[in-house]
Amino acid sequence: MRSRKPSDLRAEILDSHITSLLCHIANISYRLGKTALPEQMREEIYPHQQAKETLERYCEHLLQNGVDLHQQPTIWGPWLALDAAKEKFVGKFSSEANKYLTRRKYRKPFVVPKKV
């Protein structure tokens, strides 16, 4: 990026953007989350089959490593929906989640101009 030569990039810029965006979305969900027991997590995730399978692997992994989620609940963030074209959250938790998309006040020299 510093050289401004596309040949210096290790991946397409859009791929890199999407990859980092996924990490940011997970972090925002975590920040909005609350402690939850496995039963509560299963109830919320029920309609999402792939996510349900991931949750089961997560719970099993922790159990095999001596972590009892009934004794030590985990943080469970809300399921967030993103409007990819606008890069804004939509739906139930959108107003809270959208607050995390930018800072209200940046420190110098990292100030983002209002018009880019």
- How far apart CA 108 and CA 75 sit, in angstroms, is 33
Supply the pLDDT for residue 38: 92
C-alpha to C-alpha distances, 111 to 2, 105, 108, nearest whole angstrom: 18, 8, 6
Q: Is 7 helix (H, G, I), strand (E, B) or coil?
A: helix
Supply the pLDDT for residue 37: 93
Residue 95 has which token pair? Answer: 């107003």
Global pTM value: 0.75
Per-residue pLDDT of the chain (116 residues; tens, 9 = 90+): 678 787 888 778 788 888 888 999 999 999 999 999 999 999 988 888 888 999 999 999 999 999 999 999 899 999 899 998 998 999 999 999 999 988 778 888 888 777 87
C-alpha to C-alpha distances, 33 to 1, 51, 62, 91, nearest whole angstrom: 34, 16, 19, 16
Supply the pLDDT for residue 1: 60
- How far apart CA 27 and CA 40 sit, in angstroms, is 20
For the chain, the domains span 1-33+82-103, 34-76
